[in-house]
Amino acid sequence: MRQELIKSRPIPLILMFLVGLGYLLAAPATSGIGIAFDITATVAVFVAFLFLFVPVQIDKGAPLWLQNLSALALLVLATAAFFRWADGDWGRLGYLFFNVEVMSRPGAMARMLSGLWIAVQVFLFSLVLSTLLGMFMAVVRSIVNDALLNFFIDAYVDVFRAVPPIVLLLVTYSALPYSGIVLSPFATGVVALTLIEGAYLTEVFRSGIEAIHRNQVLSARSIGLTAWQAMRLVVLPQSVRIVLPDYSNRLIGLMKRTAETSVIAIAEILKVAQDLQSQFVNATPLVVGALLYMVVLFPMTRFVSRLEKSRPRQ
């Protein structure tokens, strides 16, 4: 037991110490924000120095709060160092990319938020439709298992996994009017994303179904369940658990891919941000757009990481 309590030096802590020390050894600032950075650096070096000598259990590493604190200190120090040594035009940069005045103009924030809402709608519609499509294809492929049908399903999967979403969006958008089919940009975007995502999800669900041992189906059929019942009651509930992490990762990708629908004039985040950018001749809307994506995606990625840690072992 005693032997496990050997000194552990978490890398963020060491980096924090080194960067802070380096920062302090370079000429310290004398005015403005620089002084705040100097104080932070001093504290960081002190804290890091202390904790470098605190023994922690090797398999547990440093406590979580300390890891978070040192990561934060490292971020601040790196930012400070960047500002100190990069020869930037900070005033111009702040004006163009972090301009509060521009974003507080009438309608600017409202339009950004409506862009977020539309992006979320594109995401949700494509998500539901592609899940249904992928689930349907995978289930039919497994149950009907007819050579010709399998060929068509595999061809669909192969083709749509090989097309970049942005290309499919542009092609569908410009080709549809000639085919006599009238679809709004929104519908076109949802259809294109659904087709691509459906192809990936067919594969995800197919692998999940195949991961369930054949004996489970035999056993279900032997009590008189139909093939569909065996699928619904026995196979799918187990498959879904297995594919949940893969599925959620696709989900994150889909949310990001909604940005590509901007090329067919769907007023989602990116489109609105670009419009505002040219209207105001200022790039702040793009930065705000990036933040909006992060607001949605941070919780999603966190959630998926948790899922992956609890992935059932087969």
Closest separation in Å from C-beta 210 to another protein: 17
The smaller minimum CB distance to another protein, of residues 79 and 226, is found at: 226
Q: How far apart are CA 282 and CA 279, in angstroms?
A: 8
Question: What binding mask, one character per residue, do residues 162-201 give for another protein by CB under 8 A, x or -?
Answer: ----------------------------------------
| Both tokens assigned to 2 | 């005693």
The one segment of 55-63, 111-119, 199-207, 218-226 that binds another protein by CB under 8 A: 218-226
Count interface residues toward another protein (CB under 8 A). 17
The one segment of 58-66, 88-96, 119-127, 237-245 that binds another protein by CB under 8 A: 237-245
Closest separation in Å from C-beta 222 to another protein: 4
The one segment of 174-182, 202-210, 213-221, 270-278 that binds another protein by CB under 8 A: 213-221
Q: Judged by CB under 8 A, does residue 104 bind another protein?
A: no
Q: How far apart are CA 54 and CA 165, in angstroms?
A: 52
The smaller minimum CB distance to another protein, of residues 91 and 312, is found at: 312
Which residues have C-beta within 8 Å of that of residue 251, sequence separation ≥ 6?
127, 300, 304
Contact predicate 188/176, CB 8 Å: yes
Contact predicate 123/258, CB 8 Å: yes
Look at residues 297, 193, 301 and name the one whose alpha carbon lies nearest to residue 249.
Answer: 301
Burial of 4 (0-12, 13-18, 19+ CB in 10 A): exposed
Contact predicate 188/126, CB 8 Å: no
Contacting another protein (CB under 8 A), which of 220, 259, 273, 283? Answer: 220
Q: Judged by CB under 8 A, does residue 110 bind another protein?
A: no
Task: Tell me which residues touch another protein (CB under 8 A).
Answer: 215-216, 218-226, 229, 233-234, 237-238, 241
